[in-house]
Amino acid sequence: MTQKRIAVYPGSFDGLTFGHIDIIKRASLLFDELVVGIARRPQKDLCFTVKERMEMLKKATAGISNVRVCDFKGLTVDFAHRIGARFIVRGLRAISDFEYEIQLALLNREMDRQIETVFLATSTEYIFLSSSAVKDVILHEGSAKKLVPDYVEKALRKKLLKNKR
């Protein structure tokens, strides 16, 4: 019997974008199970609670049978080990992403040589897209309809513009 190929796609997903969803859909085709891991990062200034981010991700991945969403604390490699994942999926947009991501991948490999990092290049239509950029568009009251699902845009508007009106 062959071992189940489990991967983790970690991130804060604080402002889930179509770029994130694209990586999730494509990665789900490569593995038996893809665990989208919402990192609990107390030092990061986040818009949404873990519960809110989890709800958004569950809604976005509802039609993908081999994807599950959960949260984790601590190091990604430790989380991967706990859930039996042998792969970490990371999306790459630009050269600047690669520099950061290769350092992280090498550090993770140093901590656990049994876990491989798999890089997926972002689809061309999302190469410019980041949660920070979406937040900036919304703060300036622009439309994010082509950047994030409707429910994410509404939630971001509610959080970011509550004191502006």
Active site residue 20: yes
For 83-132, give the DSSP string. Answer: HT--EEEEEE-SHHHHHHHHHHHHHHHHH-TT-EEEEEEPPGGGTT--HH
Identify whether the C-beta of residue 160 lies closer than 8 Å to the C-beta of residue 148.
Answer: no
- Which is catalytic among the residues 28, 53, 90, 131? 131
Q: Which two tokens stand for residue 66?
A: 């081999």
Residue 163: helix, strand or coil by DSSP? coil
Residue 140: helix, strand or coil by DSSP? coil
Active site residue 93: yes
- Which is catalytic among the residues 25, 40, 68, 93? 93
Residue whose C-alpha is closest to residue 88's, from 22, 40, 27, 21: 27
- Which is catalytic among the residues 44, 140, 146, 162? 44
Active site residue 81: no
- Which is catalytic among the residues 20, 28, 53, 90? 20
**Active site residue ranges:** 20, 44, 93, 131
